[in-house]
Amino acid sequence: MERKLKNFLEECYNAVLEGDKQKAEKLATEAVKSGYDSYLVIEKGLVQGIKKLGEKWEQGSCFLPELVLGAEAVKAGISILQEPILKSKAGRKNLPRVIIGTIEGDIHDIGKTLVATMLSANGFEVIDLGVDVKSDNFVKMAKKYEPRFLCLSSLLTTTMQNEIRVIEGLKKANLRKKLKVMVGGAPASLSWAKEIGADLYAENAISAVKVAQREIGHESKRK
Partner 1 sequence: MSPKESKKSILDLSRRRALLFDGAMGTMLFSYGLPFGTPPELWNLSQPEIVLKIHKKYIQAGADVIQTNTFGASSLKLKKSGIEKKMDKINKTAVKIARKACPDGKYVAGNIGPTGEFLEPVGKVKYKDLKKAFSEQAEILRSAGIDLFSVETMYDLREALAAIEGVREVSSLPLFICMTFEKKSKGYFTLMGDEVSSSLKKLKQAGADVVGANCTLGSKEMIKLASVMKKSTKLPIIVQPNAGMPKLVKGKTVYLQRPASFANDVLKMIKLGVHFAGGCCGTTPEFIRMVKKGLMTLEYKPLGLS
Q: Which residues bind partner 1 (CB under 8 A)?
A: 59-66, 68-69, 104-108, 110, 132, 156-162, 164, 187, 189, 191-192, 195
Nearest CA among 87, 111, 84 for reference residue 205 = 111
3-state secondary structure of 223: coil
C-beta of 9 vs 68, nearer to partner 1: 68
Which residues are registered as beta bridge partners of 97?
125
The smaller minimum CB distance to partner 1, of residues 122 and 154, is found at 154
Task: For residues 198 and 51, give the distance between their C-alpha atoms in angstroms, rounded to a whole number.
Answer: 26
Compare residues 56 and 210 and give the one whose CB is closer to partner 1: 56
- Say if residue 63 is exposed, middle or buried (CB neighbours under 10 Å; 0-12, 13-18, 19+): exposed
In the bound state with partner 1, the residue whose beta carbon lies nearer, of 43 and 203, is 203
Please report how close the Cβ of residue 215 comes to partner 1 at its closest, in angstroms: 23
DSSP, collapsed to helix, strand or coil, labels residue 18 as coil
CB of 190 to partner 1, least distance (A): 11
**CB closer to partner 1 out of 32 and 69:** 69
Taking the complex as a whole, how short is the minimal distance between the CB of residue 68 and partner 1, in angstroms? 5
Minimum Å distance from CB 188 to partner 1?
Answer: 8
Least distance in angstroms from the C-beta of 164 to partner 1: 7
What HEC string does 151-206 produce?
EEECCCCCCCCHHHHHHHHHHHCCCHHHCEEEEECCCCCHHHHHHHCCCEECCCHH
Q: Please give the helix or strand (H or E) that residue 122 lies within, else none.
A: none
